Amino acid sequence: MKRETAWRVFAGEFNDSTVEIKGQGEMSPSYVVTPLGAKVNRLFVIGVLTDVEKISEEGELLRAHISDPTGVFTLYSGRYQKDVTDALGKIEVPAFVAVIGKARTYKPEEGTVYVSIRPEKIMEVSAETRDRWIFETSKNTKDRIEAILEAMKMEQSNTQELKKLGYSTELSEGIVEALKNYSNIDINKYLRLIHESLQYLRPRKETLPDLEDKPKKNAYLEKEESVEEEEKKEEELVEKQVKEKNEKKTDNFEETEKIVLEIIKKVEGEDGAPWDLITEKCEKAGLDNDTIEEVLNSLMDKGLIYEPVLGTIKST
């Protein structure tokens, strides 16, 4: 079964969600659909862990809150997520943390829906990593706004027509559900969320990058620039091979997996390679984000790669 995409969504958008698509079988995933059409089963969020509270007498169930520039995510972790629960209990708040987790809903009464996250992984991160998440999430939110505006132009929103415009299957399906279930979606509100989030970065940056620009290279990429010339040539050779294969527009998924796995093995060190670096290399080779995400998930499901720590990939 394909692992679900971990969406980057601001708390301000996620907490506005009131639509849930229930899975039809025991193993079928459920989704929370946001007003901008993110069809969320899993999320990737980074923010400030502000508090952790025991809400059961045994102390096995914790409630925590993570703040981003637009609002607050609520997390619940218990004995079935023992590693995460233990980690939450040890982190000294406030702290910057990254979380990957499942979207959950609670309906105390008819017409009232609360959303939360059941964390699968959590780790402390730097302020720079948090800033990078804000930037990437702003870009993703902008993309969803553009997609939903395209759908609003249609006489009747249609998944196939949105896919023809280049949007992913997941986003196209989510947008159709959002337009069906949310009335009067306030696009300006979410544009303000982007603006406010990027303004939040100004104290740390001399200039604010445009959403169309690529963010500054992180420490891993700066370190990469200092590698020996021979290693650079080897990397360029791999990238050239990938580009040549990608230009042929092959639909052979297994071949694409081999290419991405080769890139991972070229850039990983003893502790693996950061997810952002792998994505950067694959993008240079001409692969789009959806393909990269799908291939990495497939390689992980096959046991060819794994995540020794959150955000780091290593081959087996």
Give the C-alpha separation, 136 to 208, whole Å: 13
Query: 122 or 108, which is more confident?
Result: 122
Q: Under 8 Å CB-to-CB from 161, ≥6 apart: which residues? A: 154
Q: Please list the residue range(s) of the chain that carry CATH number 2.40.50.140.
A: 1-216
In what side-by-side order are the strands of the sheet with 19-21? 19-21, 31-33, 39-40
Pick among 1.10.10.2520, 2.40.50.140, 3.40.50.720, 1.10.3720.10: CATH of 1-216: 2.40.50.140
Q: Give the pLDDT of residue 225.
A: 41
Q: Please list the residue range(s) of the chain that carry CATH number 1.10.10.
A: 219-315
Model confidence at 93, pLDDT cuts 50, 70, 90, reads confident
Give the C-alpha separation, 241 to 78, whole Å: 47
171 contacts 37 by C-beta, under 8 angstroms: yes
Cα 6 to its chain centre, rounded Å, is 4
Query: pLDDT averaged over the chain?
Result: 80
pLDDT tens per residue, range 184-215: 899 999 999 999 999 877 555 434 445 544 44
Highest-pLDDT range among 85-89, 145-149, 154-158, 164-168: 145-149
Alpha helices in the chain, H assignment, sequence order: 11-14, 82-90, 127-153, 159-164, 169-181, 187-199, 219-224, 229-247, 253-267, 275-284, 289-301
Q: Is the pLDDT of residue 175 over 70?
A: yes
287 DSSP assignment: -
Q: What is the pTM of this model?
A: 0.64
pLDDT tens per residue, range 121-156: 999 998 888 999 999 999 999 999 999 999 999 888
Q: Give the pLDDT of residue 73.
A: 95
CATH level 3 topology of 219-315? Arc Repressor Mutant, subunit A (1.10.10)
